[in-house]
């Protein structure tokens, strides 16, 4: 599994054939790109409107009927960000033809995506007004609902504050204040503009023949974007001498503490593998320092973990604590980070963390969507690693590698969501 099967259909359309004989399905993940910025809300709204109906499938019922006729094909959309790039994923999974009476379902799948994306439901250069209004309401509810999950909100809010002034601070589902200014006419104008300049990446996973699939895509899904644009994941968040503290008050039963660190490690750097292991030892699971020392031994946290944002060079610690334990939690968290940077790592922490990471990458083999996500990340990072490469690299890491990359980890932002 590597990028050797990537084919540039044209300057703005890359097709990746991921041959995997153990799947009975063919899964197509088609990614559309936009630079995070002023169009964030329109870009997030657009997939909802397109999924609502097309010229030949003008209602949601027609869409669902077509999918049912494709042996119950599964169609999903998702909007997210990787660094400063906003992405929409149109994901479609169908049975391999050999399990579907040779119905040519892959042809049907490509035709379906072509219909939804490029044969859009338009009248007088406007999208369907009813659909746009329904989906504006839907995306408004999605944006407003983020506050309901306080744990996730605190994690995201810390990063937004840490990245203030950088496009990565923008929420990928959009800005609520933008919604009222969007209508069926200016959204269609944006659609036309987007597909003149976007970059498309498509990953097809399953038991398929590469050459045949490339020809099918060229014939059935002839994507031709005229303007060549380069989409950037953006610069890393830089180390600063000043430590920033923020707090907010809401109706919460427990405080949510999030701490952001800069890592000065790019996604294409060789020591990114060392950083992954650093993060795993620190807060990547039940074997980690945070779990065992902050949660278990000190009983200071209901949960305590850490994660990486690969494209912005960020490590984030997040935990749930009581208000009165704020200072003590900060102190013991700081101690765990410094212990790790000093190389005070037990055999159990080191080996169990390696095993946890290796298991994570082994499990990617069995998920078409995770495989596609890995390919997308490698393409954006300018690297060419498959799960087996990650496993090999992680297996060869030493304690010295972890300590070395840890010297670049610096605390930047502390955010605390507390009760009113």
pLDDT digits (tens, 9 = 90+) for 160-205: 999 999 999 999 999 999 999 999 999 999 999 999 999 999 999 9
Q: Are 230 and 380 in contact (CB under 8 A)?
A: no
Mean pLDDT for the stretch of residues 7-21: 94
In angstroms, rounded to a whole number, what is the distance separating the alpha carbons of residues 357 and 375?
18
The whole-number pLDDT of residue 2 equals: 55
Mean pLDDT for the stretch of residues 69-82: 97
Q: Is the pLDDT of residue 1 over 50?
A: no
Mean pLDDT for the stretch of residues 244-273: 96
Q: Are 90 and 113 in contact (CB under 8 A)?
A: yes
The whole-number pLDDT of residue 382 equals: 94
Q: pLDDT over 90 for what percent of the chain?
A: 91
Mean pLDDT for the stretch of residues 246-254: 94
Q: What is the mean pLDDT of the chain?
A: 95
Res. 3 pLDDT band, cuts 50 70 90: low
Q: Is the pLDDT of residue 281 over 90?
A: yes
Q: Is the pLDDT of residue 65 over 70?
A: yes
The whole-number pLDDT of residue 190 equals: 98
> What pLDDT digit, counting tens, does each position of 110-149 carry?
999 999 999 999 999 999 999 999 999 999 999 999 999 9
Mean pLDDT for the stretch of residues 47-63: 97
Domains belonging to the chain, first-starting first, are 6-220 (3.30.830.10), 244-418 (3.30.830.10)
Q: Are 337 and 260 in contact (CB under 8 A)?
A: no
Q: pLDDT over 70 for what percent of the chain?
A: 99
Joined tokens for residue 231: 């989409």
Lowest-pLDDT choice from 126-130, 283-287, 338-342: 283-287
């Amino acid at each position: 599994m590597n990028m050797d099967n990537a084919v540039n259909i044209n300057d703005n359309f890359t097709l990746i054939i991921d041959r995997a004989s153990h799947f009975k399905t063919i899964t197509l993940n088609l990614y559309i790109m936009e630079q995070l910025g002023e169009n964030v809300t329109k870009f997030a709204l657009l997939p909802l409107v397109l999924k609502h109906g097309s010229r030949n499938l003008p209602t949601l019922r027609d869409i669902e009927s077509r999918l049912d006729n494709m042996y119950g094909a599964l169609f999903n959309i998702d909007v997210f960000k990787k660094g400063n790039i906003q992405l929409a994923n149109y994901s479609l999974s169908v049975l391999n033809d050999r399990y579907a009476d040779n119905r040519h379902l892959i042809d049907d799948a490509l035709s379906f995506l072509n219909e939804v994306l490029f044969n859009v439901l338009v009248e007088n250069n406007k999208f369907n007004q009813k659909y746009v209004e329904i989906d504006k309401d839907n995306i408004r509810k999605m944006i407003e609902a983020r506050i309901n999950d306080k744990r996730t909100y605190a994690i995201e809010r810390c990063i937004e504050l840490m990245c203030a002034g950088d496009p990565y601070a923008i929420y990928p589902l959009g800005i609520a204040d933008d919604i009222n200014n969007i209508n069926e006419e200016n959204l269609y104008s944006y659609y036309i503009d987007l597909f003149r300049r976007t970059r498309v990446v498509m990953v097809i996973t399953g038991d398929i023949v590469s050459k045949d699939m490339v020809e099918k895509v060229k014939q059935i899904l002839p994507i031709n974007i005229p303007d060549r644009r380069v989409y950037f994941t953006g610069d890393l968040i830089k180390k600063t001498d000043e430590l920033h503290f923020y707090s907010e008050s809401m109706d919460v039963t427990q405080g949510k503490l999030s701490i952001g660190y800069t890592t000065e490690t790019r996604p294409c750097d060789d020591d990114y593998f060392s950083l992954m292991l650093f993060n795993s030892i620190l807060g990547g699971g039940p074997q980690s320092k945070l779990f065992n020392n902050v949660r278990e031994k000190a009983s200071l946290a209901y949960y305590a973990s850490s994660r990486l944002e690969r494209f912005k060079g960020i490590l984030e610690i997040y935990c749930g604590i009581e208000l009165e334990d704020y200072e003590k939690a900060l102190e013991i968290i700081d101690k765990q980070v410094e212990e790790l940077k000093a190389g005070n790592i037990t055999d159990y922490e080191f080996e169990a963390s390696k095993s946890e990471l290796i298991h994570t990458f082994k499990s990617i083999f069995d998920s078409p969507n995770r495989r596609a996500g890995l390919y997308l990340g490698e393409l954006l990072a300018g690297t060419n690693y498959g799960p087996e490469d990650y496993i090999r690299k992680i297996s060869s890491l030493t304690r010295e590698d972890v300590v070395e990359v840890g010297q670049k980890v610096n605390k930047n932002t502390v955010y605390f969501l507390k009760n009113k």
